[in-house]
């Protein structure tokens, strides 16, 4: 256990051991632990949530490439959130964070879910810090990681950020070291990815994302649960319905897909793009006159219909599964 201590009690008079109430206890100095090790403990601790039921790892499961397998995540209140849980692989070097780019700084992004009422639900930093202080051995672990036992929100965020960076870097190194050879089918899929299907226009670079926001035609204006995406951050009507381009790292194990988890498998995603994206619409003149609704009902000009044979579609899926 990360919070365990090594302690040695030596009670000697001459050479005869005895037990005494007022004996002097001698302890070995506590070993240092890394910030990432402390972050790993915090990451799996439901004490970080208001109700004590939800840990970071409840939605970001290591066994699912740090996603949860749900269309949309379940918060500490037991209520389904608005959006799909994205993988934490490739996140530490992003330009902005979350599907709508709500944060531009990594540590702020790490702390944000702690206070989101739909996620971990904390209402104040003070209440969160008190719960962690009351948990067994955390002061010892903070002392071993930071050099002093003070527990603060900033330190909690630093430890969580260190852990997420650690898993991100480890996965990058593993991917670079593996250098998998591709079968003829996967090579064909790579050509389709970069060519006919146009996936590489947005899914490019080491993290397989252009760091931009696009409307794929899945945001329907006028619905009760309509998600305006990037517009909710910028207030710019042209951003309505736009969502971040997700990384495709480990994409085979991060289903379901899209910001709302609408598609259960990669075949469904590819067929969406074959059609040139979704088919949103404005329902009446009022929506037509509303720039937010009108932009939500549009589709990125980068999405043009294309046709794949069944063999080509299977080849593209085979390549995606190697990413």
pLDDT tens figures, 213-240 = 999 999 888 776 789 999 999 999 999 9
Whether 102 and 218 share a structural domain: no
pLDDT tops 90 at residue 311? yes
Whether 298 and 189 share a structural domain: yes
Whether 193 and 310 share a structural domain: yes
9 within a domain of the structure (yes/no): no
Whether 92 and 144 share a structural domain: yes
Whether 36 and 170 share a structural domain: yes
21 within a domain of the structure (yes/no): no
CA 246/CA 248 separation, integer angstroms:
6
- The structure tokens 């080509």 sit at 312
- The structure tokens 């790579």 sit at 190
- Would you tell me how many other CB atoms lie within 10 Å of the CB of residue 106? 17
What pLDDT score does 177 carry?
60
Whether 131 and 257 share a structural domain: no
Least-confidence region, from 62-66, 90-94, 102-106, 260-264: 90-94
206 within a domain of the structure (yes/no): yes
DSSP 8-state code for residue 46: G
Of the three residues 152, 174, 196, the one that is the final residue of a domain is 174
Tokens of 221: 């204006």
Whether 120 and 80 share a structural domain: yes
For the chain, the domain total comes to 2
**Mean pLDDT on 255-275:** 97
Whether 219 and 281 share a structural domain: yes
CA 62/CA 54 separation, integer angstroms:
15
Of the three residues 174, 192, 217, the one that is the final residue of a domain is 174
Note the pTM of the prediction, 2 decimals.
0.85
Whether 168 and 212 share a structural domain: no
What pLDDT score does 175 carry?
63
Of the three residues 127, 150, 174, the one that is the final residue of a domain is 174
Give the percent of the chain with pLDDT over 70: 88
CA 318/CA 187 separation, integer angstroms:
9
Tell me which residue range forms the domain holding 108: 32-174
Q: Is there a contact between 132 and 154 (Cβ–Cβ < 8 Å)?
A: no
4 within a domain of the structure (yes/no): no
Whether 168 and 202 share a structural domain: no
290 within a domain of the structure (yes/no): yes
What pLDDT score does 90 carry?
84
Single out the residue of 103, 99, 104, 100 nearest to residue 115, CA to CA: 103
Whether 314 and 212 share a structural domain: yes
- What CATH number is associated with residue 233? 1.10.760.10
Confidence grade of residue 31 (pLDDT, cut at 50, 70, 90): confident
80 within a domain of the structure (yes/no): yes
240 within a domain of the structure (yes/no): yes
CA 228/CA 249 separation, integer angstroms:
26
| Contacts (Cβ under 8 Å, ≥6 apart) of 260 | 71, 72, 82, 83, 84, 218, 227
- Mean per-residue pLDDT of the chain: 88
259 within a domain of the structure (yes/no): yes
């Amino acid at each position: 256990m990360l919070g365990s201590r090594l302690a040695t009690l030596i009670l000697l008079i001459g050479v005869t051991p005895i037990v005494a109430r007022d004996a002097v206890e001698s302890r070995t100095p506590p070993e240092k632990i890394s910030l990432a090790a402390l972050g790993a403990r915090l990451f799996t601790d439901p004490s970080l949530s208001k109700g004590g039921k939800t840990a970071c790892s409840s939605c970001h499961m290591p066994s699912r490439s740090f996603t949860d397998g749900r269309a949309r995540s379940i918060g500490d209140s037991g209520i389904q959130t608005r959006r799909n849980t994205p993988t934490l692989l490739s996140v530490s070097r992003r330009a902005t964070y979350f599907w709508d780019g709500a944060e531009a700084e990594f540590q702020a992004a790490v702390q944000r879910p702690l206070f989101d009422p739909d996620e971990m639900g904390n209402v104040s930093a003070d209440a969160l810090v008190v719960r962690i202080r009351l948990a067994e051995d955390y002061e010892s672990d903070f002392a071993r990681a930071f050099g002093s036992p003070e527990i603060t929100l900033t330190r909690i965020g630093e430890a969580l950020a260190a852990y997420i960076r650690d898993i991100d870097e480890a996965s990058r190194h593993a991917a670079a070291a593996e250098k998998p050879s591709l079968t003829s089918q996967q090579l064909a899929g790579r050509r389709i990815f970069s060519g006919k299907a146009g996936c590489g226009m947005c899914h490019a670079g080491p993290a397989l994302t252009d760091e931009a926001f696009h409307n794929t035609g899945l945001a329907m204006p006028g619905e009760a649960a309509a998600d305006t995406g990037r517009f909710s951050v910028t207030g710019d009507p042209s951003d309505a319905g736009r969502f971040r381009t997700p990384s495709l790292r480990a994409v085979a194990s991060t289903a379901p897909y899209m910001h709302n988890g609408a598609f259960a498998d990669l075949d469904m995603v590819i067929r969406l793009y074959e059609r040139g994206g979704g088919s949103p619409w404005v329902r009446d003149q009022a929506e037509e006159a509303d720039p937010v609704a009108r932009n939500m009902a549009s589709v990125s000009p980068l999405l043009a219909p294309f046709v794949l044979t069944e063999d080509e579609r299977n080849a593209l899926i085979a390549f995606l599964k190697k990413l």
